[in-house]
Structure 1
Amino acid sequence: MPDVIDWTPKARAVLEAAAELFYAHGIHAVGVDVIAEHAGVTKKTLYDRFGSKERLVVEYLAERDRQWWAFLDRYLERTRPDSVARVAAVFEAAARWACERGRKGCAMINAHAEIGDPEHPAYAVLTGQKRRMLALFTELATRAGADEPESAGAHIMLLHEGALVCAGMHSLEDAFTRAGKVAVDLLR
């Protein structure tokens, strides 16, 4: 397995194909032969660039995580650093992301259903993303002046994760709007 990936156009094509297929069908349901065909490369090229399907899964989840944080940053930049509006901005960003890129729910939650082994290299990406979200909510609760920011951050995290699941399952209309309102009320 290569330590550093040479991000050639073919490597990018493989990652894009894998991202599309993994998100649409699940990680275990998609084989490297299907990914290679979808990317227009050979399996040898896929293995030359990524070394294994496992590494490709790690890169898919890490890229999705990177894209989420870049997307979220654009929403957070519009608000004052110490305002409760930053919490509302996270829920607004999540709603937009779900509408544009997450019709099947959270990629991290979906992947965790398939990768529950803490020894799997992708496990750290999955849990790391959720830890960073909790840290963000705790920081936002602190900046908003919450009396118990760790507790408030945990409650907001639960609201956010619940909204992710409800939106992904299409079981509750306006899940992010509703959860975001409760989160903001919690901090007021």
Structure 2
Amino acid sequence: MVAAERLYYSRGIAAVGIDDVRAAAGVSMRRLYQLYPSKEHLVAAYLDARDVRWRGRVAAHVDAAGEDPGARLLAVFDWLGLWFAEDDFRGCAFINAFGEIGGDSPLVLAAVQRHKDLFRDYLRDLAHAFPTDSPESLAAGITLLAEGAMTVAAIGTDPDAAAHAKAAAHVLLDAAR
């Protein structure tokens, strides 16, 4: 799975064939097809594995921010800024996968939707810990800011996308109090 993730994330799903993954992983084609009956299955598995790792990294960063609910929500944007600055950052793997083949692949679409739902639910949980009468509205706004920052950072139009999204999140938090 490590080889598939590295190749698909760095080069794109359409540009990477099953044989590329097989060669990079050092497994036989037969073994690869035993594990993943099609490229669609392999891509969905790569996305599911990436989801677990990605959300784990976000949660670890947020947990390190302490117990204050506002600081925890804002820590999401700090983590995004760190991620965007990584040398191999190529945007959100899930947005990329959807853009490449999501609509044509039920398995890939399901993996993308599952990730986005889980991320939204995580932000919703953080928002429900914040002292506000409208945690759902706060969560929706935070989610849109985070998703928008990911897209803007990937396109490369704003190197400070996470910082700008965090500034907007401050405004949302102040309004939600």
- With normalisation by structure 1, the TM-score equals 0.84
Structure 2 counterpart SS, 1:167:
helix
Displacement of 1:101? 6.8
Q: Using the TM superposition, name which of 112-121 and 41-50 deviates more.
A: 112-121
Deviation track 1:63-86 (CA, whole Å, cap 9, x = no partner) reads 110111111121121234452001
Match of 2:17 in 1: 31
Q: Which runs of 5+ in 1 are unaligned?
A: 1-14
Pairing 1:168-183 to 2, within 5 Å after superposition? 168-183=154-169
Pairing 1:6-85 to 2, within 5 Å after superposition? 15-85=1-71
Q: Which runs of 5+ in 2 are unaligned?
A: none
Question: Distance in 2 between the 1:41 and 1:78 partners?
Answer: 39
Residue of structure 2 aligned with 1:151, choices 137, 145, 154: 137
Larger relative helix fraction = 2
**Contact in 2 for aligned 1:102/1:168 (Cα 8 Å):** no
Displacement of 1:88? 1.1
Q: Percent identity?
A: 37
**Contact in 1 for aligned 2:92/2:150 (Cα 8 Å):** yes
**Contact in 2 for aligned 1:87/1:180 (Cα 8 Å):** no
Question: Distance in 1 between the 2:87 and 2:5 partners?
Answer: 11
Q: Does 1:88 align with 2:95?
A: no
The amino acid of 2:6's aligned partner reads E
Q: Does 1:139 align with 2:125?
A: yes
Q: Using the TM superposition, name which of 97-106 and 70-79 deviates more.
A: 97-106
Over 3 Å counting, the alpha-carbon distance change for 1:118 and 1:39 in structure 2 is: closer
Question: Distance in 1 between the 2:82 and 2:89 partners?
Answer: 10
Aligned residues: 174
Over 3 Å counting, the alpha-carbon distance change for 1:96 and 1:153 in structure 2 is: same
Q: Which stretches of structure 1, 4 residues or more, deviate above 4 A after TM superposition? A: none
Displacement of 1:102? 5.4
Deviation track 1:32-88 (CA, whole Å, cap 9, x = no partner) reads 111112222222221122222122111100111011111112112123445200111
